[in-house]
Copies of this chain bind each other. A is one copy, B any other.
C-alpha cells in the first residue's frame, strides 16, 4: 500500500504519517464497466484512483448523459464534503480494470485537518478543475461540434496519449464509444461519427475499437482554431 507515497497530494509526508493515513483506507478493484458508485447512493466515501481509468457521468432528468471527466491514476473522486445532500450527484464507472483506494469522507476530513498542507494541495486541485470547467464552459456554446471534438481529442492526448510504436502519432488507449465522446462535448453519437469520419478522411486522426490516434496534431489544431 505504499501507493500513497506516489500520490502527489501526500508528497512530503513522513513514513509514519503515510502509515497513519493508510490505515484509514482500503484498496479495492473493479472490472471494466463496474460502478465505483452510482448517482443517488449515500455520498460518504472518497476514492483515489490507483490504476486504470474511470469516467465520471452525470445524468440529467431528460436522460442525457454527460461525461464530465475521465480520471487517471492519482486523481480524487467522490465526496469531499459532509453536506446533508441526498447522495452522489454522479456515477463513476471503470473504463478498464481499475484499482482505487477508498476512505470515508469523515476520515479524510480528519486527515485534512491534521495535515493542512495536504488540504491546500487538494484545494489547488479542485480550484484548477473549477477553472478549466469554467474556461471550456464558455467555449461550448460558441464553437461547432467539430471544434469541440478536436479540443477534446487534443485534451485526451495530453492526458492519456502515448507515443505509440505500432501506430503513428499519439495513441489514446481508451475504450471510448461515439456516445462517450458525444457525452463529453455535449452532442450526439451521430454528429460525433460524422466529425470523426471527416477527420479520418483528412488524415488528422484514426480510430479503432478501443483506441484513438492523433496522426497529425497540427492539422487537428488548425481545424479547432478555424471555424469549420
Residues of A participating in the B interface, judged by any CB pair closer than 8 Å: 58, 60, 62, 64, 66, 68, 80-81, 83, 89-90, 109, 112-114, 116-117, 119-120, 122-124, 126-131, 133-135, 137-143, 186-187
Contact = CB atoms under 8 A, between A and B. Distances in A.
A138 B116 CA distance: 33
Contact of A130 (B120, B122, B129, B135): B129
B134 A134 contact: no
Contacts of A60: 138-139, 142
Contact of A126 (B58, B68, B117, B123): B123
Given A119-B116, A130-B133, A68 B138 contact: yes
A127 B43 CA distance: 14
A186 B138 contact: yes
A44 B119 CA distance: 20
B122 A112 contact: no
A52 to B, nearest CB: 22
Q: In this complex, which of A68, A141, A143, A186 has the most chain B Cβ atoms within 10 angstroms of its Cβ?
A: A141
A127 B186 contact: no
Contact of A131 (B89, B119, B127): B89
